[in-house]
Amino acid sequence: MTTEASGELGAACSLRHTAVGRPVPGSLHSVSVSIPDIAAVIGYESGDAATRSRISWGYPRFRTHPYVTRVAGLLAQDGIGPANGLLLTRSARAAGAAATYAGLTPEAVFGRNGLHGVRLPADGPSAARARAYVQHTGSHLSSREAEDILLDAGLIENRQAEAAVEEAPAEAVRAVLAQAYGVRDAADVSLHNSGMNAVAAALAAVSGIQRENGRRRWLQLGWIFFDTMSLLEKRVIDVEHTTVPDPFDLSEIARVADAHAGELAGIIAEVPSNPSLRTPDIPALREIATRAGCALVVDATIATPYNVEVLPYADVVCESLTKYATGSADVLMGAAVVNPASSLGPDLRTELRRHGDEPYHRDTARVAARIRGYAERMDRVNANTLALAACLARHDTVVRGVGWAYDAASRGNYRKVERRPDAPGGLLMVDLKVPLEQVYDRLAVAKGPSFGAEFTMASPQIFIAHYDLLSTPEGRAALRARGLHRDMLRISVGTEEPERIVETFEQALRPL
């Protein structure tokens, strides 16, 4: 595939309906899949066999890439184990950690010809725990690495052609991020196998450093991204944690932090949070963390370093480069940026690399080609988001409210760290007065998991992230207590012409 054809893939899913099960944007390395109506969403999330047969793709951390499945088949032929019982990881470190978390013996870990993974038992909780570890830490085998293995084995004819930077791609990516975050030394930027791999490495690195001081507890602010919560709640990282339900309640955050000051390792926050898009008071959190003697870790994926300046307040900032940094929705990668002024900085530089997984070189080369357009991409996304937010406000018979960086609850906090005016980022969480189906099914944009692409996307995020809670009265009550419910639509605004984006949503929001 030529560079021009790769661009056409993004255009092919821009502001139009996409058939169910089609990879989005259409690359062999797509990170999303089209699930274009709520019936298909329910079927997919509930495990309906007929629906699953139509949707063979998925976000790579949640659903094994077809190329990775084929590589497992090759290993099975070599006698490593049955293909469906082999969990492939990016590194030996990840394989060993997954086995340990699952309670498996060291003999379950294997390595062959540079590949690593875990032999899973046929059934039982151990297999599920090992898979959960890889999902929550983003330590899966890259589809591009699998592609190269299949090519070397003569099972595919060629690699998918794509724009890539072959010469020193890691240095190129670090240089862009160092400038964006305002650090002088690119060594303060570490690259990881995925955004979650960066977050997991940051939490594990801080935990390891702080454990020497008897600090083993994390403070979580409200509901954040469910995989990040899982690192703490499922003890993927072996720590204790406490949650303050309301990320805006500074007095409660301070009270809890002071109460646990001697044992607090760190505070984890998102700007804004996922899925509620709430922005906590980052400067105030820094003061609380300093008083408690703990670290502050911030995930700035949604806001991006071009819109907010949070590194001066944090010890380390994490970002999924899968999202706005690349915009192509065809590569998983993450970064962690250390604050050089942090007292933990020297140790964090080392520990981040020890606890995370280095990305595959072809993934880095792909990101290096795409990240050059990061700043300009965010300029267009910001302008389009403002235009769409104004459109949604006009449809108050259908739209109850919109959560975003500039909503009434978050605006003041967001502007404390905002680099420039009119820079809200690209995510909107739309609270609908009507059943989600009435808007989602009619909306002519790419629909499925992920966000941050250069083309506009929509997601029934509560279904995708919390389907288990939607399935029971108790779960639905828990969601509502946090301001969430089934009829919420997450919009990731792209770089198309703003008039076209607005008209597309106007059509979906008009009364039936």
Q: What pLDDT digit, counting tens, does each position of 395-424 carry?
A: 999 999 999 999 999 999 999 999 999 999
HSE of 411 in the Cβ direction (CA atoms, 13 Å)? 6
What would the DSSP string read from start to end of 111-169?
Answer: EETTEEEEEPPSSSHHHHHHHHHHHHHT-BPPHHHHHHHHHHTTSSS-PPP-----SSH
Alpha-carbon 507 to chain mean position: 30
Query: Is 2 a residue whose pLDDT tops 60?
Result: no
The stretch 293-303 carries a mean pLDDT of: 98
Look at residues 60, 58, 75, 55 and name the one whose alpha carbon lies nearest to residue 142: 60
Alpha-carbon 1 to chain mean position: 27
Query: Is 6 a residue whose pLDDT tops 60?
Result: no
pLDDT of residue 223: 86
Query: Is 123 a residue whose pLDDT tops 90?
Result: no
Query: Is 234 a residue whose pLDDT tops 90?
Result: yes
Q: Note whether 352 and 200 are within 8 A (CB).
A: no
Residue 280, preceding peptide bond in cis (omega within 30° of 0): no
Torsion of CA 466, 193, 344, 324, to 10 degrees: -70
Query: What letter represents residue 327's amino acid?
Result: G
Look at residues 95, 100, 159 and name the one whose alpha carbon lies nearest to residue 365: 159
Bridge partners of 119?
86
For 191, phi then psi, to 5°, come to -105, 145
Confidence of residue 512 (pLDDT cuts 50, 70, 90): low
Other beta carbons within 10 angstroms of residue 188's beta carbon come to 23
Q: Rounded to an integer, what distance in angstroms lies between the CA atom of residue 268 and that of residue 34?
A: 32
Query: Is 3 a residue whose pLDDT tops 90?
Result: no
The stretch 35-50 carries a mean pLDDT of: 92
pLDDT of residue 9: 52
Look at residues 503, 430, 502, 494 and name the one whose alpha carbon lies nearest to residue 460: 430
Query: Is 252 a residue whose pLDDT tops 80?
Result: yes
Confidence of residue 11 (pLDDT cuts 50, 70, 90): low
The stretch 456-472 carries a mean pLDDT of: 91
Question: What domains lie within the chain, and their CATH numbers?
Answer: 65-139 (no CATH), 169-371 (3.40.640.10)
Residue of higher predicted confidence among 46 and 374: 374
Q: Rounded to an integer, what distance in angstroms lies between the CA atom of residue 411 and that of residue 401?
A: 15
Q: Rounded to an integer, what distance in angstroms lies between the CA atom of residue 24 and that of residue 29?
A: 9
The stretch 254-279 carries a mean pLDDT of: 95
Question: Helices marked H in 394-441 — which ranges?
Answer: 411-417, 436-440
Bridge partners of 201?
none
Bridge partners of 218?
241, 266
**DSSP 8-class letter at 108:** G
Distances (CA, A) of 217 to 17, 71, 258: 46, 39, 12
Q: Rounded to an integer, what distance in angstroms lies between the CA atom of residue 34 and that of residue 447?
A: 5
Q: What is the mean pLDDT of the chain?
A: 94
Tokens of 51: 């629906």
Q: Note whether 181 and 192 are within 8 A (CB).
A: no
Q: Note whether 15 and 445 are within 8 A (CB).
A: yes
Least confident of 62-76, 243-257, 469-483, 492-506: 469-483
Q: Rounded to an integer, what distance in angstroms lies between the CA atom of residue 306 and that of residue 383?
A: 14
Confidence of residue 10 (pLDDT cuts 50, 70, 90): low
The stretch 95-113 carries a mean pLDDT of: 96
Environment class of 251 (CB within 10 Å of its CB; exposed 0-12, middle 13-18, buried 19+): exposed
**What is the residue whose two structure tokens read 């809200």?**
424
Share of the chain above pLDDT 70, in %: 97
**What is the residue whose two structure tokens read 């609380």?**
288
Segment 338-386, tens digit of pLDDT: 999 999 999 999 999 999 999 999 999 999 999 999 999 999 999 999 9
Query: Is 214 a residue whose pLDDT tops 60?
Result: yes
The stretch 126-134 carries a mean pLDDT of: 96
Q: Rounded to an integer, what distance in angstroms lies between the CA atom of residue 151 and that of residue 383?
A: 43
Least confident of 224-233, 277-286, 322-331, 491-500: 224-233
Query: What letter represents residue 189's amino acid?
Result: V
pLDDT of residue 124: 82
Distances (CA, A) of 508 to 16, 399, 493: 12, 12, 15
Tokens of 190: 């570490």
**What is the residue whose two structure tokens read 């646990």?**
260
